[in-house]
């Protein structure tokens, strides 16, 4: 069975508690349920994780190699700063979709830069929590059709 790791970075554990005008009212637990439902529909395995620590996120990515077939990564603010995360994604060689709740391109200039985009298959942003099931479908489709 195809298996995906869905990994969430710093502060995303706070979803649903603050800044609902930007990030909506859903919690990370709600998003995990959305992902589980989508995975059931598509007959995929998923693992879901969150960390506020760059090193722990990197450890998750390293451990995904040989266990999962693809990665969905909302790296939070590390997206815009972390060469180390970019290198981790690149080193696993796992097809990766970069995901954001908000449209990072419509926000502050520093959010327009993404180190993850350089090593990702593609990027989904701006659709709120609905972006997670979209990313699952897009990654499953990518894995099914790649040469």
H/E stretch holding 88: helix 83-92
Question: To which residue do tokens 């995901």 refer?
Answer: 99
100 is annotated as an active-site residue: yes
Assess contact for 89 and 71: CB atoms under 8 A.
Answer: yes
Closer residue to ligand CA2 in complex, CB, 2/126:
126
Q: How far is the CB of 46 from ligand CA2 (least distance, A)?
A: 18
23 is annotated as an active-site residue: yes
Closer residue to ligand CA2 in complex, CB, 1/109:
109
Closer residue to ligand CA2 in complex, CB, 67/83:
83
Q: How far is the CB of 80 from ligand CA2 (least distance, A)?
A: 6
Q: Which of 23, 78, 115, 132 is catalytic?
A: 23
- Cβ neighbours of residue 11 under 8 Å, at least 6 residues apart? 52, 76, 77
Q: How far is the CB of 141 from ligand CA2 (least distance, A)?
A: 22
Footprint of ligand CA2 (CB under 6 A): 11-12, 14-15, 17-19, 23, 74, 76-77, 79, 100-102, 104, 111
Q: Which of 60, 68, 78, 100 is catalytic?
A: 100
- CA gyration radius, the chain: 14
Give φ, ψ of 113 to 5 degrees: -90, 130
The C-alpha atoms of residue 28 and residue 6 are separated, in whole angstroms, by 12
Q: How far is the CB of 12 from ligand CA2 (least distance, A)?
A: 5
Report CA torsion sign: 17, 30, 10, 132.
negative
Closer residue to ligand CA2 in complex, CB, 14/37:
14
- Active-site amino acid positions: 23, 100
């Amino acid at each position: 069975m195809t298996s995906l790791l869905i990994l969430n970075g710093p502060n995303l554990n706070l979803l649903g508690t603050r800044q609902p005008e930007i990030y909506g009212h859903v919690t990370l637990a709600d998003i995990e349920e959305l992902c589980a439902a989508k995975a059931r529909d598509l007959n995929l395995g998923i693992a879901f994780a969150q960390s506020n620590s760059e090193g722990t996120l990197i450890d998750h990515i390293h451990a995904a190699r040989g266990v999962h077939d693809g990665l969905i990564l909302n790296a939070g603010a590390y997206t815009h700063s972390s060469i180390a995360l970019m290198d981790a994604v690149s080193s696993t060689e796992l097809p990766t979709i970069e995901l954001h709740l908000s449209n990072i391109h419509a926000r502050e200039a520093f959010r327009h830069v993404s180190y993850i985009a350089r090593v990702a298959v593609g990027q989904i942003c701006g659709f709120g929590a609905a972006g997670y099931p979209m990313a699952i479908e897009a990654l499953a489709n990518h894995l099914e059709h790649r040469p």
